[in-house]
Amino acid sequence: MLRNREVRRALIACLLVTALGTVATYLVTRSIMLDALGGAHIVTASINEAASMVASEAPAANAALFAAICTLVTGLIVTVIFMILTSRRYRALAKMAANLDRVLAGERDIRLRDMSEGELAILSSEIDKVIARLNLTVDELQAEKLALSDALADISHQLKTPLTSIAISTELIRDRLSARGDSEDLVDRLRLIQTLQARVEDLVAALLKLARIDAGVIKLVCGAVDARELVRKSFEPLAIAFDIADVRFSADVQDGASYEGDLTWSVEALENILKNCMEHTPAGGCVSVHVTEDVLACRIRIEDTGPGIAESDLPHIFERFYRGSRDANAAPSEVNPAGVGIGLALSKSLVTAQGGTLTAENLRDENGSVTGAAFNLVFFKAVV
């Protein structure tokens, strides 16, 4: 309590007032007593008279000293009472602060009103009202998130049947036209329809995953994730796409590199980033992954040799449905269709949910020219 500057100032002020009051009481009392005994008007003319004057001043000095001691004791008692009351107040404030810390930690069954009457009780009651309102708001937001997640799940389920029917019908029509051999143009169009239909399914699945992450219904498994296995599982589904796009892939993984996280969702996040890099890398380019581990974190860096990211797009690259200026001007193709801006947003959410960070930047050569884009995933070993 004495570490508080206001308390120290109040205590010093009490002690100074007590000391000054004690001195003033002694001087005033002595003066009054001397005046009452007529000591102020005695004129010493002889040794006997001087001795008589000294003898008459002794009772006055004793009375003044007694009054000063009474003043000193009274001041000390008041100071002690002040310190006791202040100590009780600070203990009540400390208890209130501890309860607020528990509320911030997620506990809800907190009764801040359990205090005696007074201004602290009023403050505690008002804080309790605010906490109750915040809890109600959190419950409402959680209910809205769950409702949105359920709605997207229902929409996803309802879309699966017609999308499957479209895929089967398109496949049958394409087979028949291929058998006829005189409708190559229509066969190519049907193949493009099948590709777009598959992308619609991927988009619906990605939206559903994002909604579940936002609603908090996805439970991440916390375990040791081997970085080498993560890179391998992330690249395997994209190996054919990399060959078709004529984009090379290389991986440099430090031996024993690992972190605490969820392997399945980490694969999903890294796969989306690799796919994005592949789609923005021209034929003959390369996408590389570098994994290192130090005492602070496991760091995964993905680099490509594409045109890079426009500086105006860097702050928004992880926003949902955001398409950069270069994507907006790009013509869709069968191999590299224009995206809708959901993959990187999903990766960001998955990495953040595991306590990691995901950032993007441009690679530059010695002359400052952009030579590609880079994504940095950092999974810290401890969160401070």
pLDDT-based confidence at 3, cuts 50/70/90?
low
pLDDT at 23 (0 to 100): 78
Secondary structure, 3-state, the chain: CCCCHHHHHHHHHHHHHHHHHHHHHHHHHHHHHHHHHCHHHCCCCCHHHHHHHHHHHHHHHHHHHHHHHHHHHHHHHHHHHHHHHHHHHHHHHHHHHHHHHHHHCCCCCCCCCCCCCCHHHHHHHHHHHHHHHHHHHHHHHHHHHHHHHHHHHHHHHHHHHHHHHHHHHHHHHHHHHHHHCCCHHHHHHHHHHHHHHHHHHHHHHHHHHHHHHHHCCCCCCCEEEEHHHHHHHHHHHHHHHHHHCCCEEEEEECCCCEEEECHHHHHHHHHHHHHHHHHCCCCCCEEEEEEEECCCEEEEEEEECCCCCCCCCHHHCCCCCCCCHHHHHCCCCCCCCCCCCCHHHHHHHHHHHCCEEEEEEEEECCCCCEEEEEEEEEEECCCC
pLDDT at 243 (0 to 100): 92
The string of pLDDT tens digits covering residues 244-263 is 999 999 999 999 999 999 89
pLDDT at 138 (0 to 100): 82
Tell me what the mean pLDDT of segment 61-71 comes to: 75
pLDDT at 337 (0 to 100): 41
Q: Which fold has domain 223-380?
A: Heat Shock Protein 90 (3.30.565)
The string of pLDDT tens digits covering residues 302-340 is 999 988 888 888 888 888 777 666 554 554 444 344 455
Tell me what the mean pLDDT of segment 118-133 comes to: 76
pLDDT-based confidence at 2, cuts 50/70/90?
low
pTM for this model (two decimals): 0.58
Least confident of 67-71, 116-120, 147-151, 355-359: 116-120
Using a pLDDT cut of 70, give the percent of the chain over it.
Answer: 80
